[in-house]
Structure 1
Amino acid sequence: MTSTALEPDLPAAARPAPRSLATVLAVVGIPVFMVTLDNLVVTTALPVIKADLGATLTDLQWFVNAYTLSFATLLLTASAIGDRLGRRRIFLAGIVLFTLASAACALATEPWMLIGARAIQGVGAAAVMPLSLTLLSAAVPAGKRSAAIGIWGGISGLGVAVGPVVGGAVVDGLNWQWIFWLNVPIGVLVLPFAARVLGESFGGSRRFDPVGLLLSAVGVLAVVWGVVHGAEDGWTAGPVLGALVGGAVLLAAFLVWESRSPAPMLPLRLFRIRAISAVNATSFTFSVGVFGAVFLLAQFFQVVQGYSPLESGLRTLPWTMAPMVVAPIAGLVVDRVGARVLIATGQALLAVGLAWMALVTTVDVTYGSYVVPFVLAGIGMGLTFAPTASVVMAAAAETDRGVASGTSNTIREVGVAMGVAVLASVFASAGSYESPARYVDGLVPAVWVGAAVVAVGAFVALLIPGPRRTR
């Protein structure tokens, strides 16, 4: 583990012995798998939760968005606190909070209880995700860093990808509460393991930015709330218009504040680095298009074709298994091939896969029609996860890696929330859960929108510099 000038001198006995790459990957990877799994683990369980808790479509969106919004809002703050108070300390605190909130999710008996517990889960996840990458980058030699980040990206991608399968399996075998109970023993076991293996490290001395945090959090929340309620309440309704306009004003004020603050939460100078600005823009479009589509597609096999949650999850395996293989390979070859080629190719494959799904989707479509587009989408996701993280870590100065990682994850998580809100709004304006035909009426245009957004990201990815110009 590397040190900075701010790290206290530890006696030899207090410093952890050098650990193998596999050991370090395990202690940062298991918590990352948990927090990324919970992005979409509820998707295949949503029809069951909807019936059990009497939830509405708006509630279903907030079961996902409460997690992603609190996650996104606090990523940068968690990175700053970790840099100042100790990355390992805050990483471990995040594991504790995430584990306790998972138990609260399992005990929820009303929609508002589950939404609140999911929001607290997101707070814990915000401390785990960016600091795991920072701790990993500091713990491995530079020559192994791209490979390590590739494996980390594969773990992260695996958590996102297998979420629908795990959710379906648990709901079928037990009940939906066990989706969250499973996190508890894992968190309890990994906590002492991580505390023993990881050494403490600190970043640059950064003050907190409460004004920036408040402006960004309320601004994003207002915009997402407006989009979620727009299709149901009407886009010209006073509360919806007020939320959208107010959120836009707050986000503009956030950018102005950050440009003038002596200690900004989001250093805008990072976006003057072409590699970082291009890859973050691509990550945003990727999250909007893909996760918004997954939110609806994961429910298709249950709502339209009558399969159980497990049967539905298993049918997504051609999509979900591909990133497990492709992401580590992408991490190994990114230095030779270049992130631009991998990411642009991945986005193009995703756009084609989503467009193909939208084209073939009908009430009585056979499963075989989805296999090839699912595989294309899975390969596209695998080509995206590791190279985007590698670009950010390579382009940022060593003292900025914590905030750069937090910024990248923030943008991606805001994209997840916006994607679920926007595509669910498109769905609600054209369809509903009333019948299989009405579900397809809403699903098809929503997935077309997702494909178009990802296609934009494919072109943006071409702006990423080649490997020799990234730094």
Structure 2
Amino acid sequence: MAVTDQPQGGYLDRHSPRGRAMLAAVTLGSGIAILDGSIVNVALRTIGESLSASLPQLQWVVGGYLLSLASLVLVAGALGDRIGRRRVYLIGMAWFMLASALCALAQDPGQLIAARLVQGVGAALLTPGALALIQASYAPGERAPAIGTWAGVSGIAAAIGPLIGGAIVDTTSWRWIFAINVPLCLAVIALAWWSAPESRDEESTGRFDLVGSALVVVTLGASTWALTTAAEAPTAALVLAWVVTAVAAATFLLWSRRASHPLVPLHLFGSRVFSAANAMTLLVYGALGAVMLFVVIQLQVTSGWSATASGLAGLPVTVALLLLSSRAAALADRVGPRIPMTVGPVVCGVGTVLMVGIGRDTGWTGVAPGMVVFALGLALLVSPLTAAVLAAVADRYAGLASGINNAVARTGSLLAVAALPALVGLSGDDYADPVAFTEGYRWAMLACTALLVGGGVISWFGLRPEVTGPPPAGAARGRRRHAGPSTPA
């Protein structure tokens, strides 16, 4: 690491009070963002009833957050390198805290959607900052255990999110799933303010790609609106939205080819492995986002489960990731990523098929087998996916490649959540009608199965060994230093 990338005053001792406080600040901050993402799905039905929201409006409660996060996470990472990682992380935490308060105070669906869009901006600012601060603040020998602690806490946050969300919804008001973020964010801000040293990359040059960033926002925003309102919007408005989407996407590609410092360097996609891994990410994480949304609502609306119980249904996913991800990574090191990234999505697809039958009076025995199989497939593919993405590019692009893959994962979830309800015939108040929702739920799970199998097919054909020389020097080190979307949110 270049001297210019070191924090002012040298590295922190991870075992010193300040070093421990800094690690606590970044792990707790990341955990809050992950916790918020997993809590909201559990509360959607209650939010809809409380605010008299329609299904498309509830889709925007989820999708608005993902839209901001997916659109701005790459910009936020570059911003931290330029003006200071500590500064951007603190701004992100304060932004997220204020937006959470606005979410808690929302009086109608429009206010909540707007607050969620703002909250996603805060999440985008803080998400890349956590690992960047660890990387810059600790000596090379202390980074791996620090990242391990960060990853463990992130996994725990994902695991307890549905349980906490369900307990809050069942015992108090849904508003507390957002209000609880305020004191937690204040604690993180205080810890980071005192302990985190400032760092930046003094060698970073060139202007921000503001044009590319704006085109990404327009592309995702227009397509998300069109997918979400497909069943209700006038035909002329839908046509206009798709025209805007196509024009913005085409302009983004042309701009990215000509810009001196593009938001997404298209030359990275010249690697067949990098392209295939990201295409697989788009499909698999799209299916993951939709499965967790539809299963939670189906269990509450049709099966009569409480919010707490339905939140617990997804616990096998996090447990499997915590216990098996390292073994999956070791397997990929031995046999390459192609097999686990092909078999994993197919196994996930088997799990979704097993959950198609969830309906009235379904108990734990009707949910657990499918969810466990789905979790095992996900654990098999996530670590090899991260390794494949990072090994496909030169070491100097490892951080950028990780950011692109994270953005693709969030985009997949965003588009699936926006598109599937309308595609399976759900709209209006169908989320509160057991008969209507069950019909749509079953078609949605079959659609997710198709996405997952498609991801496996892409991996099989796209991850064939390339007939080239040895991998770029440092590729293995890059895999250890950077993390892809290893904790689904």
**Is TM (by shorter chain) over 0.5?**
yes
Q: Runs of 5+ in structure 1 lacking a partner? A: none
State the one-letter code of the partner of 1:456.
G
CA deviation map 1:77-115 (0-9, x unaligned) = 112211211223212221221122111111111111111
For residues 72-87 of structure 1, what are the structure 2 equivalents within 5 Å? 72-87=70-85
Instruction: Give 1:225-240 correspondences, 5 Å limit.
Output: 225-233=225-233, 237-240=235-238
Secondary structure of residue in 1 paired with 2:207: coil
Could you say which residue in structure 2 is the equivalent of 1:220? 220
How many residue pairs were aligned? 463
TM-score under structure 2 length normalisation: 0.85
Pair 1:226–1:445, CA change in 2 (3 A)? same
Further displaced range: 81-90 or 147-156: 147-156
Residue 346 (structure 2) pairs with residue 369 (structure 1): no
- Stretches of structure 2 lacking an aligned partner (at least 5 in a row): 476-489
* 1:69-468 equivalence runs, <5 A: 69-138=67-136, 152=150, 155-156=153-154, 158-160=156-158, 162-195=160-193, 196-202=195-201, 204-233=204-233, 237-330=235-328, 335-336=333-334, 338-358=336-356, 360-429=357-426, 432-433=430-431, 435-462=433-460, 463-464=462-463
Alpha-carbon deviations, 1:91-144, whole Å to 9, x = none? 222122112211111111111111111111111111122233344455667788
How much does 1:365 deviate?
A: 3.5
SS state at 1:377 partner: helix
Is 2:349–2:449's contact at 8 Å kept on the other side of the alignment? Answer: yes
What amino acid does structure 2 have at the position aligned with 1:231? A
Partner secondary structure for residue 430 of structure 2: coil
Aligned identity (percent) is: 34
Q: Match of 2:287, SS?
A: helix
* TM-score of the superposed pair, with normalisation by structure 1: 0.88
Which of 17, 42, 55 aligns to 2:12? It is 17
Superimposed CA distance per residue, residues 245-287 of structure 1 (whole angstroms, 9 cap, x where no aligned partner)? 3212211111111111111111112222344322222221112
User: Could you tell me how far apart the structure 2 residues matched to 1:82 and 1:294 are?
Assistant: 32
Question: Per-residue deviation at 1:204?
Answer: 2.7
Q: What's 1:48 paired with?
A: 46
**Within the alignment, does 1:37 sit opposite 2:32 as a pair?**
no
CA distance in structure 2 between the aligned counterparts of 1:107 and 1:199, rounded to whole angstroms: 34
Aligned-residue offset at 1:388: 3.2
Could you tell me how far apart the structure 1 residues matched to 2:279 and 2:145 are? Answer: 24
Distance in 2 between the 1:280 and 1:88 partners?
29
Contact 2:257 2:266 in 1 (8 A): yes
- What secondary structure sits across from 1:175 in the alignment? coil
CA gap of 1:108–1:36, structure 2 versus 1, over 3 A, is same
Question: Which amino acid in structure 2 is aligned with residue 208 of structure 1?
Answer: F
Letter in 1 for 2:280: T
Residues 168/229 of structure 1: CA separation in 2 closer, same or farther (3 Å cut) = same
With over 3 angstroms needed to count, the CA separation of the structure-2 counterparts of 1:223 and 1:162, relative to structure 1, is farther
1:398 CA displacement: 4.8
Q: Is the 8 A contact 1:79 1:131 kept in 2?
A: yes
